Structure formats: C-alpha cells, structure tokens
Chain A
C-alpha cells in the first residue's frame, strides 16, 4: 500500500519520517511544478483558493506514480481549508481515480477515532508506537526548520552567490532517498554542518525581513516565488512567522492538549484585531508587531488570492505599519508564474528599507556626536 500526501514546503520530510517509522511505504509527490498547477487549475473549482488546486495536482501526479492512499489534514475550520479534503475527494472520484483518502483531524476529545484512522494507514500498530513516531517526526520537523533558518541567515552573507541554494537542492534530492526519522535527522545534521561552513562575508550588514501571512503561501516556495531565496540574494535575512514545526507543535499537539498559549498573540494584535478571524489572520497582525519589537526592518505579508482571513489582516496592517513605523508590503499570490512583477516589488521594498536604515544610522551617529 503506497501512501502519499500533498506538498507544503519541507513538510514532506516530517511526513516521510512519521510514516516510514511506522513501516508504511511512502510516495512523495513530485515537487510542485507548472504541470502540478495546470492539473490543479484544470480540475478544481475556479473560485477555490490556490493551495486546494496545488493539492489536487499533487494527488494526481502521485496517483500516476502508483499512490493508493492519500493522507490529508482536515477538520472544523480554521477557514475553507477545513473542507478541502472533502472537496478534493469528490473531485478525484469524479475523475475516476481509485484511491483511499484518510482525513486526519485534530482529535477533539475523541482520541480513539484518531487512532483508528491511523490504523487504516499503518495496518494496526500500537498506540504507543504511533505516538512515539509522531514524537520523533516532530523532532525531525524542528531540525528541518532549524536547517532552513540557517539558510536564511547564511544566504545574504555568503561570499559566492548561490552556494546555499545549491546545497539545499542537493539536500532535497538526497532526502527523497533517505528513510525514516533516524536517516533524515542524520542527513539534516550533515547539511546543517555543510551550510554553516559556507564562506561568508563576516561583517556584512544585512537587513531583517519578517514574512507573515497564510501558512501555505508562506511555506511553499513554488507559490511564494521562492521569496526567502530571492530576499536572501538581495541581502536580506528573512524569518518566517509560521513554519512546519510551529504548525505541528502549536496547532496539532498543543491545541489538542489545550496547551496552546495565545496570550502573546492576543497582546500583540491588540487593539487592531482582537479576535480570531480564521486561518492565521490574527497571527499576521500580531507577528508584524512582534517583528518590529524584535528589531526587524520590514515585513512582507503573503496571501493567496481570495483568502478571507488574510484579507482582514491586510486591511488592518497599514495602520499597524503606520503606528509602529515598520514598512509592510502585501503580495497576493495566484496562478501567475511570471516573476518579473514580484521581483520589481521585492527589489523596491528592499531599497526602501535599506535607505531607511541608512538614514537611521546617520541620524543615530549625529546624536552620538552631539551634532
């Protein structure tokens, strides 16, 4: 039984880890490409948001390669995403594909149901073993995000441009042939080591840009025009407010155990957005404030076209930007694969904050010299 799942940036690493530790044969869909998008837009409702369409493309490309079971997250909310799996199942069935879809929901009081669903995939493993695999996969997700964060730090400082990106491409092609949590953790460790040894311009001053927004567009490089790479090449160190491990730990595990502490988010987004508006809308506002407090120079806000929660955030952000004095730029992402328009905006945004920082530097010096 060959199991597959949709892509979301590096999430496939954690998925591979948990499933392979449970002895499941995994088929990672080919990375998102123009063909994935074409398949997705062809077979999905036109009004659906972009992630749903790419998921469909992933499934079809995986089924073509022999996948029999699709694992997808679902449940109540937090936005249209909650209903993705059901719609996707119908679409694939109408297309005549034969497959089984397992929709994993956050166990809301009913742990037995969750375990039962896992049993469909794993063919009956003890609860203990399932929990242990999830724990190890969470660790792998954390390590993976640490590796990405390291790339974000090194890329703007590297001596010969493109080295980090080249190493990461190498990493991803090797990860596909590495099995289970132990192997994957070792591979991540190896590349963390190699990337931390990439030659850098030691004292180069870089800009700090925080990326907030809808989770899929923030994490999946195919949709966000590889924004972390592009900004890195433009001399900015990026940070993403949402990562795969953040999502797994806070939204899946802590929320299920009622441990997710939202005080910081509530406090930071107050009074601009006082309540949950679906998806990560409130987080986008809160994280913009938090990035300012942590000394970042600018924030880029990403959303897929028609994303309701982020549209709410978008209308609040100009005021936040103004009050806190941090430049914010919103980019709406859709089916366009032409990158020139995004490049112009990113360049202009980097110019803007660099100039702003330089001016601040001048001003600061003047104060120091008593001029």
Chain B
C-alpha cells in the first residue's frame, strides 16, 4: 500500500504555510510563502512547489485554516475548513498533551488560548490593535535598523531595564525615540520593546484569564528569544516553544483533516494538479437592495464553484454548498 499524506494549508494575511504530515503524524514537508494579498496564486504556487519536491504522492486528506481558509478550502476541495483557534489548540495538544496555555503571536494578530484537561476552555483574539503583534516589532526594528532576526539575541544582551510605553504602538515609538535621545543603550531599548509587547499582550488578551503552566509559545514571533525571555520573567514560569512553532495552524488543520478523512472514508481533495487549473474571481456588485453587497464568485476553469459576500443568501445559495 502506498504511503498516505495529509495536507494542511494556513492562509494568513502575511504568510501562507503548507505542511504535509505522514500517517504517523510526523511533519515531512513544510513551506513558507508570502501571501502578498494574492491567496489564490500563493496556494497554487505552494502546491506546485510541493509536487516538485515530493513528486506524485497520495494525499488522503486536506484542510485549510487562517483568514483565507474559505477561499483556499473551496480551491483545493478541503475535507475541513477550520478557524485558527481550534487548529492551534489541536496542534499544541498533539505536541504536548499537558499544555494549559497557548500564547500565539503572529504578524497581524495575536491570540491566547486557555486549555483545561485537554480542551479549549477560553480564548481571546486581538485584531484591532497592532501593539501586541509581530508587526509592532517589525516596525521598531526597522526604525532602529536592526534586522528582525537579530532583534531577539540583541535583547538578551540587555543589562539595564528601560521601560518603553506599550499601550499603543504610536506612543511606544515616541517613547522609544525619547529614550534613545537620552542616551540609553540600544540593547536595553530593544529588550524594553520586548517587555512592552509582552505587557500589552497580557493586558489585552490575558485579562482575567488564569495563565497556568505548561505554556506553549507559538506563531512567528516565538522565534524571538527576547520575547520568550520577557514572557518567562513576566509570568514567572518556563515557556516552551514547539519545534514547528511557526506552522502550528497548518499542522493542526492537517491533523483534523486526517481524522475527518478517516471518518468519511474518502477525501474531497482535488489533487496537486489543481495548480494547473485556471482560478479566478468574478466580483459582482449586487444592486438588489441598499446593502450593495460586494459578491465574490470563485471561478475554476470558467465555471463558478462558490459565491459569497451577500447578506441575504441570494447568491451564495445559487451554487450548492
């Protein structure tokens, strides 16, 4: 019997991640692509690269997650389309069944997930404020002309604490400039920024939540050792970073797809060759009422395969769900 693989795709606002798990739930392939506002193209390119590397393989289940999950799900014929909270929790539990808290910080948003006895008991998401996300660090690193990859290691060299205001990204920036002008050392300021992000994150998302060990830190920002250290000190507990911390969403949805496909006894995956299909979107402005919904029709090789964006269901119900 040929080997079976399970595909997970996380289409986020900044990056798109593809992972492939084998039937032992081990990661055998991972790819990171920039979404650059073109989810259709990036998914197709990702699948093409996957085929290039792995050849003709048997994909027995596929799933999508992230803010572009619906679109990607329709494109590839996903067995499961899941929100980021659930997929992150599933992946974390698979890594360490004892996990009680998941800290997740990505480029554009951040979440906290509280688990008790292996199930999600509470969560919070931050999407309106940038001060608790990776883009905050990105922006300040740019300002200080430090490559973001070196940011964390530099922070660890800090010997004196410099407090940078963290409630708002704009205030943080002016506060930081002020501290620079006073002559504080760069590594102290950099660590101050890490602390500011952590404080902001815990104030916004951790509000009223009991953060207990085991704590898993995932998402792209988990690569930053300065942030890890700031979390460790602020929470007074060890922070664990899973090996594939930056693709946990894709891993989670691949795991769920495996379960779903097993239960259904088949997969709806359209095959790796969909990278050759012509996908497009047809925007329609509905003039049926004053809502003027902006409808999007997803077209595969000239025929509509899905429709959404309407409030009343007039369009989305036309193509079978």
- Chain A positions near chain B (C-beta within 8 angstroms): 30-31, 33-36, 161-162, 165-166, 169, 226, 318-319, 321, 327, 340-341, 343-345, 347-348, 351-352, 355-356, 359
Pick from A30, A162, A226: contact of B317, CB below 8 A. Answer: A162
Pick from B85, B122, B291, B313: contact of A33, CB below 8 A. Answer: B291
Q: Smallest CB-CB separation from B84: which chain A residue? A: A344
Q: Which of the four size classes fits the interface of chain B?
A: 20 to 34
From DSSP, what is the main secondary structure of chain B's interface residues?
Answer: loop
Instruction: Say yes or no: A30 contacts B125, CB within 8 Å.
Output: no
Instruction: Say yes or no: A33 contacts B290, CB within 8 Å.
Output: yes
A36 to chain B, nearest CB (A): 7
B57 at the interface (CB under 8 A from A): no
A91 to B143, CA, bound (A): 46
Instruction: Say yes or no: A35 contacts B290, CB within 8 Å.
Output: yes
A344 to B108, CA, bound (A): 15
Instruction: Evaluate whether A359 and B291 lie within 8 angstroms (CB atoms) in the complex, with A161-B321, A341-B127, A345-B125 already known.
Output: no
Chain A residues closer than 8 Å to B208, beta-carbon distance? 318-319
Q: Smallest CB-CB separation from A336: which chain B residue? A: B128
From DSSP, what is the main secondary structure of chain A's interface residues?
Answer: helix
A1 to chain B, nearest CB (A): 26
Instruction: Say yes or no: A355 contacts B120, CB within 8 Å.
Output: yes
A135 to B291, CA, bound (A): 35
A356 to B86, CA, bound (A): 13
Instruction: Say yes or no: A348 contacts B85, CB within 8 Å.
Output: yes
Chain A residues closer than 8 Å to B290, beta-carbon distance? 30, 33-36
Chain B residues closer than 8 Å to A162, beta-carbon distance? 313, 317
B15 at the interface (CB under 8 A from A): no
Chain A residues closer than 8 Å to B67, beta-carbon distance? 340, 344
Q: Which of B67, B122, B289 is the most central at the interface, judged by chain A CB atoms within 10 Å of its CB? A: B122
Pick from B121, B127, B311: contact of A327, CB below 8 A. Answer: B121
- Chain B positions near chain A (C-beta within 8 angstroms): 67, 82-86, 117-123, 125, 127, 208-209, 289-292, 311-313, 317, 321
A347 to B127, CA, bound (A): 16
Chain A residues closer than 8 Å to B289, beta-carbon distance? 30-31, 33
Pick from A165, A321, A351: contact of B120, CB below 8 A. Answer: A351
Instruction: Say yes or no: B292 contacts A355, CB within 8 Å.
Output: no
Pick from A165, A226, A321, A347: contact of B83, CB below 8 A. Answer: A347
Chain B residues closer than 8 Å to A355, beta-carbon distance? 119-120
Q: Smallest CB-CB separation from B109: which chain A residue? A: A341
Q: 4 extra interchain contacts, Cβ-Cβ under 8 A, other than A226-B311, A341-B127, A344-B125?
A: A161-B321, A162-B317, A166-B317, A343-B83
Chain A residues closer than 8 Å to B317, beta-carbon distance? 162, 166
Instruction: Evaluate whether A165 and B313 lie within 8 angstroms (CB atoms) in the complex, with A30-B290, A351-B120, A359-B117 already known.
Output: yes
Chain A residues closer than 8 Å to B123, beta-carbon distance? 348, 352
Instruction: Say yes or no: B83 contacts A344, CB within 8 Å.
Output: yes
9 contacts between A and B (CB under 8 A): A34-B290, A318-B209, A319-B208, A344-B85, A345-B125, A347-B83, A347-B85, A351-B86, A352-B122
Instruction: Say yes or no: B313 contacts A351, CB within 8 Å.
Output: no
B89 to chain A, nearest CB (A): 9
Chain B residues closer than 8 Å to A341, beta-carbon distance? 125, 127
Q: Smallest CB-CB separation from A348: which chain B residue? A: B85
A308 to chain B, nearest CB (A): 18
Instruction: Say yes or no: A348 contacts B313, CB within 8 Å.
Output: no
